[in-house]
A and B are shown apart, each in its own frame.
Chain A
């Protein structure tokens, strides 16, 4: 946090300034030119991959894309749409009841459950997919047991749904991604004051109809944000659908590029995906269009959770434990079993090297993204003009890009930079330095920053949004220049948002796979690429320890995140 930029105060001497006409707010003139220009430059830098993609996509249609369009493109799009809506719907069904229970009622073990419910987020979807396939396929323990009990002898004797299908992918992704929705909805439910719920109850609502008519509509912006996040994650998922052999737009991008080597077709496919993402984002923005909530009267309105009894308690417990078990406990136990049984196979020097690689890359990306988020978030708050939200929006578009698409977008400008740099150096008769940008982990860190800055930006933005505007006025009238206000009021108040953003970017970067697969320097493996290699080769058992480390690394920030949420509750 040492390199936090500070705003420069613009000193206005009332009589020297020749400003005429309309009333202007000071804050509009308050930021220095460096900050303003810096914000736009940073935004453009992080936006270059998108520009590169748009440039590639607008190139004339090549043969391969024309062929795709005439044959399988329809299926790809249909599968993608089905996958996103399926994961969304299933996510709603899974997450909303759990969020409501955790926010409003008292059940045994609630303290543990409320963070256990977040843990599936730490599970790489392809690991979960692998484990369930292992459990549910013909030779797996479930079907074996079924045959033993019933006496059926072969697959022809009975029907068993194939996990390696679109439906299977929906279930796996929903199980891993529902915590996004759960977290956002739970927070929203907890923020509602008891009096609003009471008012609806007194006006004749049963608890259920109060939930449907008051709580859900009030939490709708949060719910839609959660859905949008899940949708974007689903769209970006490559490993699960690839493993299940479900052709979607994402796998198509991968295949057209690696299989046919057509950047053109890949870029065109990703342009279609970009449209889907824009729909999801505008849905989220639209749902928040009239939401302006500031923190007020903190501490006065503590609500008491009602304790559940009888069948309600049983049902609530069953629901929450089912989510935790299916999304986390069961796959984690199987993974642990692999680890113990194949420990000597997976405990080796590669593991250490690749862990350090992942850590390095993730810390770099998280730090970079958090600084970007702070810089741009403050720009947006202090520079109250119509255009000041554009840099943040530009940066956030990176999240829309599936990893493999992003990789193409990142490589193009980085390769150009490398050529330029080497050209300059050689012009001064020094030996060329090689591919310092595109051929090093810089490429991955940059790609992650492009992809995950949105997470940090969102987190910082929402915590800045909760800082009441009167605090700005108060600090200014108490003698703070804009830069002091940022340092003494804004930054301390958004520290939690910064931390949350940092941790989220860190998790995402640890687990990120497709971009790493395509951008890693020669011989460089991250934990994720290494594990996926073993998943593809149907021998995850031998990389179980690496997969476990991936899970554990994702767990730590989640637990911290939950701690800070709990502290906020108190």
Chain B
């Protein structure tokens, strides 16, 4: 079943349109990451879903029940949505126990205690129930927030940049931990962030958002490798744009020479396009010939932890390449492209 179904949603603040005709589905138990730069409308979308904002058009349904439309909105407290905030939003005047128990209403005292203890165990904070939020580390506070949001069995969990205040060493572990918790509890999650890496690590699929619209939605692997347009391609990770001409359905001609595609190219021969190549799709070899007419040269290299980030000068342009072999500066090299599904854009930046 669909946990969240948004169709044709538009929202306005004062006179400006923040969301326009937006569609998004989240299936039961699925974690979707909403990726976008700040100001793209992510937070507005979360507000609309949680019921703090009424849309001007379109509708939002939770498990098949319409909760928001231009005609009216169900107040947040009746939606059974959990929410996790960037600043954790724990109640500073309540202990960890009472924070988690905050949303538990119709339970007896004994059941409340039991439920809170379950949740504490789930987030690995057993024994800390008497602490106040300010006595916890950032990561612990965020785990309390998770426990609080999940205590009431929400049908959907919204996460608004939940990891951005947490230092990077703890972050990776926390991202995995919380993902495991959501998966274990089978909660559908909508996770908002501007960080690709968090999105990849946390979500089953991503939706790239820009200027109030969703540009592409899919498994992160697919969105990364088959971006719908240039914005998505560049947002998902760095790459190189090379002018090219289509030779036939499998080959394009580029300044690097002919490049093969492993899938058929949907364009006529002779058409001019742009080829988008990720840094890791190149191979570099030391140039064998004595005096190459137009050599590619190593401009600089930087070790990034796993691989080297190598800048290669090719005629007037600089290409960014990822490889594992160090070269001295100015080495003449031969660049080739590993065969893969080529990503080609037309003049307007749309994928071919």
* Alpha-carbon gap, A475 to B76, bound state (A): 9
B69 beta carbon closer than 8 Å to chain A: yes
Contact of A27 among B52, B67, B87 (CB under 8 A): B52
* Interface residue stretch chosen among B132-140, B203-211, B250-258: B132-140
Whether B85 lies near A473 (C-beta < 8 A) is yes
Per-residue 0/1 for A14-44: is the Cβ within 8 Å of any B Cβ (1 yes, 0 no)?
1111111111111100100000000000000
Whether B12 lies near A23 (C-beta < 8 A) is yes
B228 beta carbon closer than 8 Å to chain A: no
Contact of B53 among A11, A14, A23, A295 (CB under 8 A): A23
When distances are taken between beta carbons in the complex, the residues of chain A under 8 Å from B138 are: 297, 300
A213 beta carbon closer than 8 Å to chain B: no
When distances are taken between beta carbons in the complex, the residues of chain A under 8 Å from B91 are: 471, 474-475, 489, 492-493
Contact of A492 among B18, B54, B70, B93 (CB under 8 A): B93
Whether A493 lies near B52 (C-beta < 8 A) is no
Given contacts A25-B53, A473-B52, contact A297 B71 (CB under 8 A): no
Given contacts A14-B67, A474-B83, A477-B79, contact A23 B102 (CB under 8 A): no
Per-residue 0/1 for B79-100: is the Cβ within 8 Å of any A Cβ (1 yes, 0 no)?
1111101110101111000000
Whether A23 lies near B13 (C-beta < 8 A) is yes
Residue in A25, A475, A477 with the greatest tally of chain B CB atoms within 10 Å: A477
A289 beta carbon closer than 8 Å to chain B: no
* Alpha-carbon gap, A30 to B54, bound state (A): 13
Whether A481 lies near B13 (C-beta < 8 A) is no
Given contacts A474-B89, A478-B102, contact A19 B77 (CB under 8 A): no
B55 beta carbon closer than 8 Å to chain A: yes
Whether A26 lies near B51 (C-beta < 8 A) is yes
Q: Which of B190-248 contact A (CB under 8 A)?
A: none
Whether A477 lies near B72 (C-beta < 8 A) is no
Contact of B73 among A9, A26, A300, A471 (CB under 8 A): A26
A479 beta carbon closer than 8 Å to chain B: yes
A13 beta carbon closer than 8 Å to chain B: yes
Q: Which of B34-88 contact A (CB under 8 A)?
A: 47-48, 50-56, 66-83, 85-87
* Alpha-carbon gap, A484 to B134, bound state (A): 24
Query: Which residue on chain A has the smallest CB distance to residue B102?
Result: A478
Q: Which of A463-477 contact B (CB under 8 A)?
A: 468, 470-471, 473-477
* Alpha-carbon gap, A479 to B51, bound state (A): 12
* Alpha-carbon gap, A471 to B94, bound state (A): 12
Q: Which of B4-56 contact A (CB under 8 A)?
A: 11-14, 18, 47-48, 50-56
Query: Which residue on chain B has the smallest CB distance to residue A296?
Result: B87
Residue in A12, A25, A294, A488 with the greatest tally of chain B CB atoms within 10 Å: A12
Given contacts A14-B69, A15-B71, A478-B102, contact A26 B93 (CB under 8 A): no
A299 beta carbon closer than 8 Å to chain B: yes
Whether B85 lies near A474 (C-beta < 8 A) is yes
* Alpha-carbon gap, A468 to B12, bound state (A): 23
When distances are taken between beta carbons in the complex, the residues of chain B under 8 Å from A474 are: 83, 85, 89, 91, 148
A71 beta carbon closer than 8 Å to chain B: no
Given contacts A12-B72, A14-B74, A479-B105, contact A21 B79 (CB under 8 A): no
Contact of A477 among B73, B81, B93, B135 (CB under 8 A): B81
Instruction: Looking at the assembled complex, report how far the CB atom of A494 sits from the nearest CB atom of chain B, in whole angstroms.
Output: 10
Contact of B72 among A19, A471, A478, A479 (CB under 8 A): A19
Q: Which of B145-166 contact A (CB under 8 A)?
A: 148-149, 152, 154, 158, 165
Instruction: Looking at the assembled complex, report how far the CB atom of A347 sits from the nearest CB atom of chain B, in whole angstroms.
Output: 45
* Alpha-carbon gap, A489 to B77, bound state (A): 14
Whether A493 lies near B93 (C-beta < 8 A) is yes
Whether A19 lies near B79 (C-beta < 8 A) is no
Query: Which residue on chain A has the smallest CB distance to residue B67?
Result: A14
B103 beta carbon closer than 8 Å to chain A: yes
* Alpha-carbon gap, A292 to B71, bound state (A): 34
A480 beta carbon closer than 8 Å to chain B: yes
When distances are taken between beta carbons in the complex, the residues of chain A under 8 Å from B75 are: 9-12, 26, 30, 476, 481
When distances are taken between beta carbons in the complex, the residues of chain A under 8 Å from B68 are: 14
Contact of A475 among B47, B67, B102 (CB under 8 A): B102
Query: Which residue on chain A has the smallest CB distance to residue B78?
Result: A479
Whether B85 lies near A470 (C-beta < 8 A) is yes
Residue in B69, B76, B82, B105 with the greatest tally of chain A CB atoms within 10 Å: B76
Instruction: Looking at the assembled complex, report how far the CB atom of A465 sits from the nearest CB atom of chain B, in whole angstroms.
Output: 14
* Alpha-carbon gap, A136 to B70, bound state (A): 76
Instruction: Looking at the assembled complex, report how far the CB atom of A440 sits from the nearest CB atom of chain B, in whole angstroms.
Output: 40
A154 beta carbon closer than 8 Å to chain B: no
Query: Which residue on chain A has the smallest CB distance to residue B157?
Result: A477
Given contacts A473-B50, A474-B85, A479-B105, contact A23 B72 (CB under 8 A): no
* Alpha-carbon gap, A477 to B154, bound state (A): 9
Whether B76 lies near A493 (C-beta < 8 A) is no
Whether B82 lies near A13 (C-beta < 8 A) is no
* Alpha-carbon gap, A488 to B50, bound state (A): 20
* Alpha-carbon gap, A488 to B149, bound state (A): 17
When distances are taken between beta carbons in the complex, the residues of chain B under 8 Å from A23 are: 11-13, 18, 48, 53-56
Query: Which residue on chain A has the smallest CB distance to residue B60?
Result: A14
A344 beta carbon closer than 8 Å to chain B: no
Whether A479 lies near B152 (C-beta < 8 A) is yes
Whether A480 lies near B72 (C-beta < 8 A) is no
When distances are taken between beta carbons in the complex, the residues of chain A under 8 Å from B133 are: 298
Contact of A476 among B66, B76, B134, B158 (CB under 8 A): B76
When distances are taken between beta carbons in the complex, the residues of chain A under 8 Å from B81 are: 477
Whether A488 lies near B102 (C-beta < 8 A) is yes
* Alpha-carbon gap, A37 to B287, bound state (A): 83
* Alpha-carbon gap, A477 to B83, bound state (A): 7
Whether A470 lies near B87 (C-beta < 8 A) is yes
Instruction: Looking at the assembled complex, report how far the CB atom of B37 sits from the nearest CB atom of chain A, in whole angstroms.
Output: 21
When distances are taken between beta carbons in the complex, the residues of chain B under 8 Å from A10 are: 75
* Alpha-carbon gap, A21 to B10, bound state (A): 11
4 additional A-B pairs beyond A476-B76, A481-B77, beta carbons within 8 Å, are A10-B75, A15-B66, A24-B54, A492-B94
Top 7 closest pairs, chain A to chain B, by CB? A17-B72, A478-B103, A299-B134, A476-B76, A470-B89, A14-B72, A474-B89
List 22 A–B pairs whose Cβ atoms lie within 8 Å, in order of A's numbering.
Answer: A12-B73, A14-B67, A14-B74, A15-B71, A17-B71, A21-B70, A23-B55, A23-B56, A26-B53, A26-B73, A30-B75, A298-B92, A470-B89, A471-B89, A474-B89, A476-B52, A477-B50, A477-B149, A477-B158, A478-B149, A481-B75, A493-B91
